[in-house]
Structure 1
Amino acid sequence: MKRIIAVSLAAGLATGLIGYNTTASGETDAARAPALTELPDGYRDWRLITVAHEEGKLNDIRAVLGNDIAIRAFREGAATFPDGTIIGRLAWDYHPLEESKAAFGAPQSFVAGLPKNGVQFMVKDAKKFAATGGWGYVEFDDGKPSTTAMPEACFSCHSIVKDRDFVFSRYAP
């Protein structure tokens, strides 16, 4: 019986020290990983935060979606978003709807065309992404993380809205 207790205590101590060492050093595999390595399951079914029309170089229409954590934070008017928040952006080029043009005599209604600029996500993890305001940025092209996207450029633009926790979008209930 004493031997079982001694082995159990030794195993518990070893497990505790390993766990302590991992968290004390601050280094984990997750901390070195990119914001996302694959598209979040079901992201196309997430709730709508807002829609936007971008002009200039981007010249697209877009839907901004959020996971449940994001939606809850937006609805509550959170000043900062909690860890686990994921905000997604889908964008398309657009063109006039021919039927609308015929009905009104001029282009009036515009509809989504081909997807543009991949699918982009912001992932909140204040500790992991401390250097970029607590947000990780990633773009997916054809379902794979982009090799040309520059998360630093995302943060550079998002720095303009630092007072809104680096989030451009506003909730459209």
Structure 2
Amino acid sequence: MRQKFSPLAFVSTSIFAAIALSVAAEESTPDSSVQASPVFGVTLPPGYRSWQFISVAHEAGNNNDIRGILGNDVAIKALRDGTLPFPEGSIIVRLAYEYVPSDRNNAIFGREQSFVAGAPTNVQVEIKNTKRYASTGGWGYGQFENGKANPSVKIINSCFSCHTKLPTAADLVFTSYSK
């Protein structure tokens, strides 16, 4: 049996597809209207808080923070497939928080053993674009506090100097994918 063509269904499907493409483009393209970090011009990518989980990390010492690391679809696919170096357009975002004991949880457990994310400290962004960031191994960096780019050129330049200490096989990325 032959189905009838429905103009309304066609229009509805076309509108839905256009919205989906628009949202996908917004998720992967940094918002140029947002304040950019110095040196690399990196901005907070729209929708990054909805990206997929890569891993967590705890930095002791001076930072004493806990970090959640997220990636856009390009970075996640590369990590899952074991594709290194990362492809163009990969973006990795690190959310850092104070690493604090949980009084509530510790009261239940009867000893100090539970730690949680406290106040946010900063968000760091790493974007792969080998042409734009050729002098820094193809990666551009940014750091943000309270949604605003940290204006310190010294801090932003220090990103690359630490990342270059990693083995070449890591493609200047600290975090491995947690399965």
Query: Which TM-score applies when normalising by structure 2?
Result: 0.73
Residue of 44, 47, 54 corresponding to 1:49: 54
Question: In the alignment, does 2:177 pair up with 1:171?
Answer: yes
Give the SS at the match of 1:108: coil
How far apart are the structure 2 equivalents of 1:34 and 1:130?
Answer: 11
**Structure 1: segments with no counterpart, 5+ residues:** 1-32
Residue of 125, 128, 150 corresponding to 2:129: 125
How far apart are the structure 1 equivalents of 2:145 and 2:65?
Answer: 17
Question: In the alignment, does 2:156 pair up with 1:151?
Answer: yes
Aligned AA (1:78):
T
Instruction: Give yes or no for contact 1:49–1:66 (8 Å, CA) kept in 2.
Output: yes
**Structure 2: segments with no counterpart, 5+ residues:** 1-38
Instruction: Give yes or no for contact 1:136–1:151 (8 Å, CA) kept in 2.
Output: no
Q: CA RMSD in A?
A: 1.4
Aligned AA (2:177):
Y
Aligned to 1:95: 100
How far apart are the structure 2 equivalents of 1:80 and 1:140?
Answer: 26
Instruction: Give yes or no for contact 1:94–1:112 (8 Å, CA) kept in 2.
Output: yes
**Judging changes above 3 Å, is the alpha-carbon distance between structure 1 residues 100 and 142 closer, same or farther for their aligned structure 2 residues?**
closer
Aligned to 1:62: 67
How far apart are the structure 2 equivalents of 1:41 and 1:64?
Answer: 16
Residue of 73, 76, 96 corresponding to 1:71: 76
Q: CA deviation at 1:152?
A: 2.0
**Judging changes above 3 Å, is the alpha-carbon distance between structure 1 residues 109 and 119 closer, same or farther for their aligned structure 2 residues?**
same
**Structure 1 residues 102-151: Cα deviation after superposition (integer angstroms, max 9, x where no partner):** 222211111111011x2110000011111101000011222222102533
Q: CA deviation at 1:35?
A: 4.0
Identity of aligned residues (%): 49
Query: Which TM-score applies when normalising by structure 1?
Result: 0.76
Aligned to 1:139: 143
Give the SS at the match of 2:119: strand
Aligned to 1:112: 117
